[in-house]
Amino acid sequence: MPAKPLPIQMLELKGCRVTVLGLGRFGGGTAAVVFLVGRGAHVTVVDAKNEAALSDSLRQLESYSEIKYQLGSSCSELSETDLLVANPAIPPDHPLLKSALKQHIPVTSEIELFWQLNRGRVIGVTGSNGKSTTTAMIHAIMKASETRCWLGGNIGISLLPVVEQIQPDDWVILELSSFQLEALNRIQASPQIGVVTNFSPNHLDWHQTVEHYRHSKQTIFRWQTQNDFAILNAGDQDLQSWDTRGTVSRFGENPSLKPDVLVDRQAFVLREQKHVLQPHLNVPGMHNRMNAAAAIVACRCAGVDLTTIQQGLETFQGLPHRLQFIGEYQNRRFYNDSLATTPESAICALDAFDDSPIILLAGGSDKKVDLSEFANALLNRTKATALMGETGLVLSGILQKLKADLSGDGFAVISQPQQSFQEAFGWAFQQSDPGDVILLSPGCASYGWFSSFVERGERFTELFQRLGG
């Protein structure tokens, strides 16, 4: 049984004793703290990480001398607390969540606080892969339409500090993780336009089971009404059974499924009066065409005309750390795809370069997902792969078994698990020849060697820049 959600009347917060569990490094925790202090709450921040690990976030809070901190140690009981604000990544079995349940202390999160105060209309995007790019594409289109719009959520931007500026006619475009959706389920919230790019097992270290992960994701449709819209990938079999009371629209590349937007390598065909869109996309790969199709359907549901949709897609330059071209050295092209934290997204990145040999940097921390398909792709679709992190060991074991089961030559060169990121980068460069692509697309989370995918991508860029002296 989950802890009870925050009653609406408590949003006044003046004089309320609030414990913020998990400050984190991506801005949501600091935004929640600033919001709470601004509303007159007495705030205590609890985080198992120490001051050094949280230095960037703490620097943003230096001017708020009234905040109390309990950092670098674990505590199992809440005391003198009227409200617990939990970082979405805090696992459900955390002792302080259990303590809140036992003491009947309300629990909320940054995304719940925002949702309860937001007056704007929401387009919410989730999925196991592609949700960041799809969210940003929708935002680019809405900006081109000259509609007031706001970008936020799991993409790394908290809108809580500006929630009072958002008007009822504005569009809020949110990337929503499974963790955030699990929190929104507490307050029975779903967006007016919900988009699901695809579904595959992920974050099982947090959710424990595929069923729990799916249930969290399904929040994006669960509380919709008949006036809302549910947009999903027609080719993803799992999604076809997801329930919604909203109007369903689909996108996909299989014409026999009759999607509302049909995707091929040249155009997007809309069933609506058989319109054809042929925008030039600045991001490579069929998976990005699928992301664009999802964005097209969402923006049509929001009332945006086709000319504006094409203009918006053509202005979109891609996201940092998502198949980001960072430069060329000695006729080798370098791409930073550090945001590829699932095997499926890394495999999509490999598909985007079917015209060039690929030297891949792969592996990271272990989220307890099946890596067998990823290992097969490394063996058959790269020229060479440098293995990294916890999953470097796991992948090495799977690859040895695959090679033993298969006969023949022509498989990729696979490194031993590297001892550092710099060693992995150096090995990858040594394996490359002019005309090759050197690609960081790890297929795994960054933790262990890095604090985040951002730090990992920045390190890759730094090592590239060193090549030129």
CATH number at residue 215: 3.40.1190.10
Query: What is the CB neighbour count within 10 angstroms for residue 170?
Result: 17
Residues 78 and 23: their CA atoms lie apart, in Å, by 16
Domain boundary among 315, 332, 347: 315
Q: Do 388 and 418 reside in the same domain of the chain?
A: yes
Q: For the stretch 267-302, what's the b/e string if a residue is b when 16 or more beta carbons lie within 10 angstroms of its beta carbon?
A: ebbbeeeeeebebeeebbbebbbbbbbbbbbbbbbb
Per DSSP, what are the bridge partners of residue 21?
Answer: 46, 86
Q: Supply the pTM of this predicted model.
A: 0.86
Decide: residue 89, CB within 10 A, 0-12 exposed, 13-18 middle, 19+ buried. Answer: middle
* pLDDT tens, position by position, 107-161: 999 999 999 999 999 999 999 999 999 999 999 999 999 999 999 999 989 999 9
**pLDDT mean across residues, the chain:** 93
What value does the mean pLDDT take over residues 311-330?
A: 94
What value does the mean pLDDT take over residues 75-104?
A: 91
Q: What is the per-residue DSSP string for 56-89?
A: HHHHHTTT-TT-EEEESS------S-SEEEE-TT
Amino acid identity, position 298: A
CA 388 to chain centre: 21
Residue 298, in any domain of the structure? yes
Q: 432 vs 355, 416, 420, CA distance in Å?
A: 15, 17, 19
**Higher-confidence position of 54 and 274:** 54
CA 208 to chain centre: 19
Q: Are 23 and 54 in contact (CB under 8 A)?
A: yes
H or E element: which one contains 399? helix 389-405
Judged against a pLDDT cut of 70, whether residue 351 lies above it is answered with yes
Q: Do 350 and 452 reside in the same domain of the chain?
A: yes
Q: What is the pLDDT of residue 60?
A: 92
Task: Give me the CATH number covering residue 54.
Answer: 3.40.50.720
Band of residue 91 on the pLDDT scale cut at 50, 70, 90:
confident
Q: Do 429 and 353 reside in the same domain of the chain?
A: yes
Domain boundary among 80, 108, 136: 108
| Tokens representing residue 361 in the block | 């940097």
Judged against a pLDDT cut of 70, whether residue 405 lies above it is answered with yes
The range of the structural domain enclosing residue 152 comes to 112-315
Q: Do 330 and 307 reside in the same domain of the chain?
A: no
Q: Are 230 and 291 in contact (CB under 8 A)?
A: no
Residues 379 and 416: their CA atoms lie apart, in Å, by 14
Q: Do 448 and 385 reside in the same domain of the chain?
A: yes
Q: Do 282 and 162 reside in the same domain of the chain?
A: yes
Residue 3, in any domain of the structure? no
Q: Do 453 and 337 reside in the same domain of the chain?
A: yes
Q: Are 18 and 81 in contact (CB under 8 A)?
A: yes
Q: Do 299 and 412 reside in the same domain of the chain?
A: no
Q: Do 103 and 118 reside in the same domain of the chain?
A: no
Residue 2, in any domain of the structure? no
Q: Are 169 and 54 in contact (CB under 8 A)?
A: no
H or E element: which one contains 233? strand 229-233
Q: Do 43 and 127 reside in the same domain of the chain?
A: no
Band of residue 367 on the pLDDT scale cut at 50, 70, 90:
confident
Q: What is the pLDDT of residue 10?
A: 52
Q: Are 444 and 391 in contact (CB under 8 A)?
A: yes
Domain boundary among 297, 315, 333: 315
Q: What is the pLDDT of residue 8?
A: 46
Q: Do 208 and 235 reside in the same domain of the chain?
A: yes
278: Cβ contacts below 8 Å, ≥ 6 apart: 266, 267, 268, 310
Residues 361 and 318: their CA atoms lie apart, in Å, by 21
Domains contained in the chain, number: 3
Task: Give me the CATH number covering residue 436.
Answer: 3.90.190.20
Q: Choose from 28-32, 93-97, 215-219 the range with maximum mean pLDDT.
A: 215-219
Q: Do 212 and 152 reside in the same domain of the chain?
A: yes
Residue 157, in any domain of the structure? yes
Band of residue 89 on the pLDDT scale cut at 50, 70, 90:
confident
